[in-house]
Amino acid sequence: MSEPQRKAGVYNDEQAQELEHRIWGIFEHYTSVSEPLYVVALEGRLDVALPALVGPRSSPYYRFHGYVDARTWESPSYLVEYKLRDRLTPVPILVRQRQVRDYAWAYQKQTGIEIAGVWVDETLNAIPGPARIVQAKRKDQGIDGLTVSHASEQLTTPERYIKACYMYGEKPVGDTLKALKARKWHQRVPIHFRPSELEEVGHELRSAARLIRDLDSGDLYPIRNASVMTCPGCRFREICDNPEDTEVVDALFDREPAKRYRDAA
């Protein structure tokens, strides 16, 4: 990844080292809190024709592209999706997400390998740090005017919090300790598919492809629909409130003519 950045003149060695340190820190903590998962076929590319509207043929127009992270050894096999998250996704939301079904359908079509489900492996995009140290409110508290924070939202472990309390002569607060113990740094959620469930996916993807075509051609007009789940990850969220702000749009994006105008350009 550094080579393209060097060619573009935006490579920063200090930032690259910080990122490498962060990734290794997350990885080391991940391996300490998760069970081993034996997988094959890392980073496999998916390229599958969608079903035709009528009959068993494949569509000559629409294809599905994606990248699958891994597949388990056992038979029937499970795909594995690794995710770094600012916040772990509630399990009921994970189970209903479409991406894992789309990938399973495409992988099964492309390889002929039966896919029974997907393991979604989520890890917090953060490294546990030491317990937070703050200014003491009383003269007889802590060491050199400092003491340990009892804030429950701090990104540390119960063991580090207890150790800091011992060092600064503080008694661990029960609610803080409870919150730190309850924090999940990692979750691995199995999603199992019914046989009929993946059969529907190809038709759903074809419907989505037709919708994208109609939006791109101008036959349909896009509708903004705020969502707690989709808005945080939307790449257009910075301009959603005012998409007619030309300066902001040009600063953040490279413009391309709509498909309906490309032939005439």
Tens-place pLDDT, residues 9-20: 666 777 888 888
At 90-131, the pLDDT tens digits run 999 888 888 999 999 999 999 988 899 999 999 999 889 899
At residue 1, the pLDDT reads 55
| pLDDT value of residue 46 | 92
What pLDDT does residue 7 have?
A: 65
Domain ranges of the chain: 1-33, 35-126+190-211, 133-182, 225-262
In 3D, which of 39, 25, 32, 38 has the Cα closest to residue 68? 39
pLDDT of residue 260: 62
Residue-level pLDDT at 2: 64
Which residue in this structure is represented by tokens 């029937």? 76
As given in the structure block, the two tokens for residue 219 are 């036959």
Residue 260: is it exposed, middle or buried by C-beta count within 10 angstroms (0-12/13-18/19+)?
Answer: exposed
Map residue 56 onto helix, strand or coil: coil
pLDDT per residue, tens digit, the chain (265 aa), is 566 666 666 667 778 888 888 889 899 988 888 888 888 867 788 999 988 877 677 888 888 999 999 999 877 899 999 999 988 999 998 888 889 999 999 999 999 888 999 999 999 998 898 999 999 888 777 788 899 999 998 999 999 999 999 998 889 999 999 999 998 899 999 999 987 888 889 888 888 888 988 888 888 888 888 888 788 888 888 888 888 888 888 888 888 876 666 655 4
**Could you tell me which of 78, 82, 80 has the C-alpha nearest to residue 70?**
80
Q: Return the ∠ at Cα 40 (arms to 35 and 45), rounded to 5°.
A: 120
pLDDT at position 222:
83
Q: How far apart are the first and last CA of the chain?
A: 34
Question: Could you tell me which residues come within 8 angstroms of residue 236 by beta carbon, excluding any fewer than 6 positions away?
Answer: 243
* Interatomic CA distance for residues 116 and 30, integer angstroms: 26
- The pLDDT, as a whole number, for residue 107 is 93
Which structure tokens are listed for 254?
């490279």
**pLDDT of the residue at 9:** 67
